[in-house]
A and B are shown apart, each in its own frame.
Chain A
Amino acid sequence: MIDKSDIGMWEKLRRHRLAYYYILPSAIVMALITAFPILYQIWMSFTNFNITNLRNPHPDFVGLGNFIKIFTNKVPLENFNFWRIFAFDVFWTFSNVFLHVTIGISLAVALNTPRLALKKFYRTLLVIPWAVPSYISALIWKNMFDVDFGAVNQILSNILNMTVKIPWLTNPNAPIKIFPFLSYAFYADLITNVWLGFPFMMVVATGALQSIPHEIFEAAEIDGVNERGKFFKITLPLIRSAMLPAIMLGIVWTFNQFNVIYLVSGGGPLGTTEILVTQAYKIVNPGGLYGVASAFGLIVFFILLAITLITNRITRATE
């Protein structure tokens, strides 16, 4: 009689040998290029590793020095201010996701109207921004915001019938005085990223709307509920649970929206549009401060982990 609990560790592993063989190749590669770098990163974050000891990796141990440097804004890079960047990143994320969701839902609801002509055609055209690679869109928009040759200023000139020369990407001042910390470049980045992101929310909202039976609206109509009432009392509450996971995903994506920020405004002018991931990149390239970059990367990781845990809790709480 062999009791199950008596089976040793090795016996257990032997019995599942095949499963481990199947996982081994990817596990080795992931260990080499993901797990090992993460461990290496933790070690590097406590050292003064930089471009000068790249070939001969014996940097000095500096303890929490890099973290202190980051939190006290002592990193020797132009316009480095961790807390400003962090605050801006949060503001950037919420303003974007708010617009993505409101535009996306409004279009999904409009396209869900019974007997509306050309629905399918409209939907196909509206997902185009999603199909263009974000890297290309960001570069296109950067060119459209050019002061002299950009399409945005030209259109404004045509509409207003006067020469418009808004310095979208070069003027660090705030065009709207009630938001003194938001430069012109913020609005350029915002327009680009809203363009990029609303189709996704529209598609998710369209899916969510399919689950609401039309009878509910017809009943409401008989009861004399107006359009506004139908939207706020029926549509929104019923698509809420389906939208929440997409919103959470949108928050994480926007928080890390490297392509738009780096390619459109480059974090500038004067660092007014820097977010955490673009700053992390600049510490490595051109900064060459690998130790500081590792510490910075770990900080970003923990911030993301916190966001994910909090948002996960919110989504669960609503179920």
Chain B
Amino acid sequence: MKKEIKEKLKHLYLHAYIIFWIIIALFPVLWIVSMSLNPINVLKPTTLTLIPKNASLSAYMKVLQKPYEAYPVPFVQLLFNSLFVAGGTAFLSVALAATAAYAFSRFSFPGRNIGLISFLVTQMLPATATLAPLFVILTLLHVRNSLFGLIIAYASGSVPFAIWNLKGYFDTVPKELEEAALVDGCDRNQAFLKVILPLSVPALAVTFLFGFMNGWMEWMLAWTFLTKPQNFTLAMTLYNMQGQWNTPWSQFAAFSLIISIPVMVVWFLLQRYIVSGLTLGAVKG
């Protein structure tokens, strides 16, 4: 009996501790939701309520109508640019990485290890460290000030990750499947295209999504490389909204939610795979 009370007390204490951290975890997200619904842009919200007085979607409307204060770029244009850059980055990195990952996974050839390591070492360079040479090279190639140049720059960051990610998955696909296909008269390319790739759709999808999120959220290279407002992306526009003294609060909040909700949805859909991958590794280690 006494033991039971002791356990109850302990649980009560633990619930309090966990709920404290949940409040901290949720607060900024709820705050931004509340802000986005507030019809008054700059005035100080006197109370912190989830649904403010006279809540409206006017901030969302304003952002969709005129997202970039200094220049009349329509929202659709920014959305298209972001989708183009993110989709292009994801497609380029998966397309380049799939064949390379297959070679690293299935063939043993001179230079295999050095190749794998050199792809990995490039990941250790922080993006800001390669900024200067990338800027000069893309300028000399005359693609710096274009969305296409941006895609190439982003791919340099996501290809090595994509190769390692896909190689890890290909390693788990049994070799016997291709061998059977080879016996049945396929050549290597057909075995790769018709057997391995279809079996790897989940891994290809996850790799594609990682590339997509990179391109969707990145703003630093974009801000350094692009100068024409009609080329701007959503992430750049949000960054630009951060004025030193006159941030349009509600619009900023609404725009943040518009950009991050797709990412959060995808993250929660994929969470199971990300977390299980992580914890599997942790248990093995």
A binds B: yes
Listed in ascending order, the chain A residues whose CB lies under 8 Å from chain B are 12-13, 16, 18-20, 22-23, 25-27, 29-30, 33-38, 40-41, 44, 49, 54, 57, 103, 106-107, 110-111, 113, 115-118, 122, 125-133, 135-137, 139-144, 148-149, 151, 154-155, 158, 195, 198-199, 203-204, 206-208, 210-211, 241-246, 256, 258, 262-263, 277-278, 280-281, 283-285, 290, 293-294, 296-298, 300-301, 304-305, 308
Residues of B within 8 A of A294 (CB): 132-133
Asked if B273 is an interface residue, CB under 8 A from chain A, the answer is no
Residues of B within 8 A of A37 (CB): 130, 133-134, 137, 156
**Given known A-B contacts A22-B102, A110-B18, A133-B260, A195 and B109 have beta carbons under 8 A apart:** no
Docked pose: A133 CA to B262 CA in angstroms: 10
Residues of A within 8 A of B15 (CB): 116-118
Docked pose: A93 CA to B16 CA in angstroms: 29
Residues of B within 8 A of A263 (CB): 239, 242
Q: Is A30 a contact of B160 with CB atoms below 8 Å? A: yes
**What's the least CB distance linking A304 to chain B, in Å?**
6
Count, chain B residues at interface, CB 8 A: 91
In chain B, residues 6-46, which have Cβ atoms closer than 8 Å to a Cβ of chain A? 7, 10-11, 14-15, 17-18, 21-22, 24-29, 31-32, 42, 44-45
Residues of B within 8 A of A106 (CB): 17
Instruction: List 17 A-B residue pairs with CB atoms under 8 Å apart, sorted by A's residue number.
Output: A22-B102, A22-B107, A25-B99, A36-B137, A40-B136, A107-B17, A129-B28, A135-B219, A139-B238, A139-B252, A151-B28, A207-B281, A208-B282, A242-B282, A243-B282, A290-B132, A297-B130
Residues 260-271 of chain B, each 1 if its beta carbon lies under 8 Å from chain A, else 0: 100110011001
Q: Is A20 a contact of B109 with CB atoms below 8 Å? A: yes
In chain B, residues 227-262, which have Cβ atoms closer than 8 Å to a Cβ of chain A? 235, 238-239, 242, 247, 249, 252, 256, 259-260
Asked if B110 is an interface residue, CB under 8 A from chain A, the answer is yes
The 8 closest A-B pairs by CB, nearest first: A207-B279, A297-B129, A16-B109, A22-B103, A207-B282, A19-B107, A37-B133, A33-B156
**What's the least CB distance linking A44 to chain B, in Å?**
6
In the complex, residue of chain B having the shortest beta-carbon distance to the beta carbon of A243: B282
Q: Is B126 a contact of A203 with CB atoms below 8 Å? A: no
Residues of A within 8 A of B44 (CB): 148-149
**Given known A-B contacts A18-B188, A203-B275, A155 and B249 have beta carbons under 8 A apart:** no
Docked pose: A151 CA to B163 CA in angstroms: 43
Q: Is B25 a contact of A128 with CB atoms below 8 Å? A: yes
Q: Is A23 a contact of B134 with CB atoms below 8 Å? A: no
Q: Is A34 a contact of B130 with CB atoms below 8 Å? A: yes
Docked pose: A35 CA to B26 CA in angstroms: 42
